[in-house]
Amino acid sequence: MSTIVAPPVRKRRELPPLMTLSDTAAERLRKLYDAGENGKFLRISVNTKGCSGLAYDMSWADEPGPGDEIVKDKDLTVLVDRKASLFLIGTTMDYEVKALSAGFTFVNPNEKGRCGCGESFHV
């Protein structure tokens, strides 16, 4: 009589969060929400643009749409367009203040390169 042995069950690898916020990004976003965007949500998407092909896009939304992923981090809610989620898995949104500019930046482990001006990226 032979015994059938089931193959070992492989553990699924934990996926990284879709997106996280740095402390400085969270602080800046709180200020924006408190100032004039109270009750709105920041929506992040990726559009075709620039020399490398893709660019981050941010807009305000009154409520989550059917195509939005809801990201909660540091007691804040950010919406991510579902079509952009594959490009953004594991991304950290930061806020940088430089000598002549200030703005949100993205540290994206999926990026393979950026154009010279830094406006667009490719994966």
- The pLDDT value recorded for residue 21 is 96
- The pLDDT value recorded for residue 118 is 57
Q: What is the mean pLDDT of each run of 10 residues along the chain (123 residues)?
A: 72 78 95 85 84 81 92 93 89 91 86 63 66
Edge-first strand order for the sheet with 121-122 is 68-73, 76-81, 41-49, 53-61, 121-122, 113-114
> Is 78 contained in some domain?
yes
**CATH code (residue 57):** 2.60.300.12
Find out whether 73 and 26 touch, Cβ atoms under 8 Å.
yes
The tokens 């492989």 sit on which residue?
10
∠ at Cα 41 (36, 45), nearest 5°?
125
pTM: 0.77
> Is 119 contained in some domain?
no
Parent domain of 104: 19-110
- Sequence-separated contacts (24+) of 48-51 with Cβ below 8 Å: 49/119, 49/120, 50/115, 50/117, 50/119, 50/120, 51/115, 51/116, 51/117, 51/119, 51/120
> Is 32 contained in some domain?
yes
